[in-house]
Structure 1
Amino acid sequence: MLQIRKSEERGIANFGWLDSRHTFSFGHYYDPKHTGFGPLLVINEDKVTPAQGFGTHGHRDMEIISYVLSGALEHKDSMGNGSVLHYGDVQRMSAGTGVRHSEFNHSHDEGVHFLQIWIQPDQVGIQPSYEEKHFTPESKTNTLRLIASSDGRGGSVLIHQNASIYAAILDGSTDLEHKLETGRQAYVHVIRGTVNVNGTPLRGGDALKITDDNLITLKEGKAVELLLFDLPS
């Protein structure tokens, strides 16, 4: 079964310094039809104005992944980590027993644009941890590049859930396929551009839930960047 999540149907949060689109219920936005997909609970597309951001706040028992699209995202946390992330950087923070962190636009004159993704872990009460990796555009072009997995294989960041996240940039010259094992489902989130996923045309901000189908096809990509989530049912 295929179910489209259109870009314009996402929840909106605009606080002046933050312009966010919520794929799933989050904060003041609630839609009983969109409260997550398997362990995938949050995909927020955030745009933060210069020198603004999220002050120090806490999380626990959550896998939090940031995928930077443009600008510079500054991160600090109670584990002692501090860094500035740019396009191609993927950050994973396992909140476990509890962690506090802040996220700010590092620049004083340019906005920062990123996706924040939350995945429910398959174990609770673990020691908090942090990791970041860089993935070049070339490593994602016309291929499904594994960026997060349950075992950190292939240089991906490690998440505490039986899930895999792939990133792809398609220029129209190549079609891609991804096979799902029995008992798996997929979620394809289009970041920008246009693409045909299992016969369904999608554009930036759109997404597609895929269940009861063991093959995902990506065709007719035009200046597209996307994420594919391979998830337990």
Structure 2
Amino acid sequence: MTTETVDIRRAADRAKTNISWLDSKHSFSFGSHYDPGNTHHGLLLVNNDDVVRPGAGFETHPHRDMEIVTWVLRGSLVHQDSTGHSGVIYPGLAQRMSAGRGILHSEKNDSWTLTGEQSHSEPVHFVQMWVVPDEAGIDPGYQQLEIDDELLRGGLVTIASGMPEHEGQSAIAIRNRYAALHGARMESGDSIELPSAPYLHLFVPRGQVTLEGAGVLHEGDAVRFTASGGQRVTATEPAEILIWEMHADIAAA
């Protein structure tokens, strides 16, 4: 694709799932919210912005042939899966689950102390993102690694990548050589430059920024770029941003 486009998607226009324990906002078609004109951008199929109340969460359910990256903004999320991995995901801890030929897992805002008291007393706010893998039927896998807060506040950091040029730099590896996830925590006045790629997806899960040439992006807003990059993103208040850099679309993955 050679035509440069900048497509702003506002938070209020996302599909929503609101039930007693979950407030979920979907950037793309998800579950019963199906729109044939909004199924993906580049290699990114899911960008869910979820808030789960204490003591609740997603019970054990299956996934297949998907690279799933979870990034927590507030609170903590308990992960368990059928390969024996378990852990607590919290802000700054990057987590990737490769569903491969099939995996079962649960995600809950639900942890208990040794005295039987619930230790998670606040909602957990997290973004979950799915990209397709390079090949189907790989072995399921799991990886997590903490990214230092000072590093995240120093500019754009590679959170996850399958791109050869990021080997040894990214916190976690994903099984797609054409995709990378970058992030930054920004104070008011901080500025970063977007990478150049055939497909970019910029999401603002927290705070407010301005995008060069496009104006203000509020919390929950996203931008889909094609054949673009180099624009500056500047925080107008404390903010966090997530950027997918993609050098292929699903058809070419």
Q: TM-score, normalised on structure 1?
A: 0.94
1:3 to 7, 31, 54: 7
Match of 1:190 in 2: 204
Match of 1:140 in 2: 152
2:125 to 113, 116, 119: 113
* Contact in 1 for aligned 2:189/2:237 (Cα 8 Å): no
- How far the C-alpha of 1:217 sits from its partner, in A, is 1.6
Secondary structure of the residue aligned to 1:154 is coil
Q: Tell me the amino acid that sits aligned with residue 161 of structure 2.
A: S
Q: Tell me the amino acid that sits aligned with residue 66 of structure 1.
A: T
Q: For 2:218 and 2:209, how far apart are their aligned partners in 1?
A: 6
* Contact in 2 for aligned 1:63/1:121 (Cα 8 Å): yes
Q: For 1:186 and 1:45, how far apart are their aligned partners in 2?
A: 18
Match of 2:238 in 1: 223
Match of 1:60 in 2: 64
Q: What do the CA deviations read for 1:144-200 (whole angstroms, capped 9, x no partner)?
A: 01100005531421001111111111213332213315xx22110001111112322
2:134 to 111, 116, 122: 122
Q: For 1:218 and 1:18, how far apart are their aligned partners in 2?
A: 30
* Contact in 1 for aligned 2:76/2:109 (Cα 8 Å): yes
Secondary structure of the residue aligned to 2:237 is strand
Match of 2:185 in 1: 169
- How far the C-alpha of 1:16 sits from its partner, in A, is 0.7
Match of 2:80 in 1: 76
The yes-or-no answer on 1:179 pairing with 2:195 is: yes
The yes-or-no answer on 1:90 pairing with 2:94 is: yes
Q: What do the CA deviations read for 1:14-38 (whole angstroms, capped 9, x no partner)?
A: 1111110011110111223321101
Q: For 1:102 and 1:170, how far apart are their aligned partners in 2?
A: 31
Secondary structure of the residue aligned to 2:137 is coil
Secondary structure of the residue aligned to 1:139 is helix
Q: For 1:224 and 1:7, how far apart are their aligned partners in 2?
A: 15
Q: For 1:128 and 1:104, how far apart are their aligned partners in 2?
A: 20
- How far the C-alpha of 1:39 sits from its partner, in A, is 1.0
1:18 to 18, 22, 25: 22
Q: Greater share of strand residues, 1 or 2? A: 1
Q: What do the CA deviations read for 1:195-218 (whole angstroms, capped 9, x no partner)?
A: 112322201100001112242321
Secondary structure of the residue aligned to 2:238 is strand
Root mean square deviation of aligned Cα:
1.5
Q: For 1:81 and 1:95, how far apart are their aligned partners in 2?
A: 13
* Contact in 2 for aligned 1:72/1:85 (Cα 8 Å): yes
Gaps of 5+ in 1: none
Q: For 1:187 and 1:175, how far apart are their aligned partners in 2?
A: 17
For 1:40-59, list aligned pairs within 5 A.
40-59=44-63
Number of equivalent positions: 231
Q: For 1:156 and 1:214, how far apart are their aligned partners in 2?
A: 23
Q: For 1:114 and 1:220, how far apart are their aligned partners in 2?
A: 20
Q: TM-score, normalised on structure 2?
A: 0.87
The yes-or-no answer on 1:207 pairing with 2:222 is: yes
The percentage of aligned residue pairs carrying the same residue is 39
Gaps of 5+ in 2: 112-117, 249-253
Q: Tell me the amino acid that sits aligned with residue 228 of structure 2.
A: D
* Contact in 1 for aligned 2:161/2:170 (Cα 8 Å): no
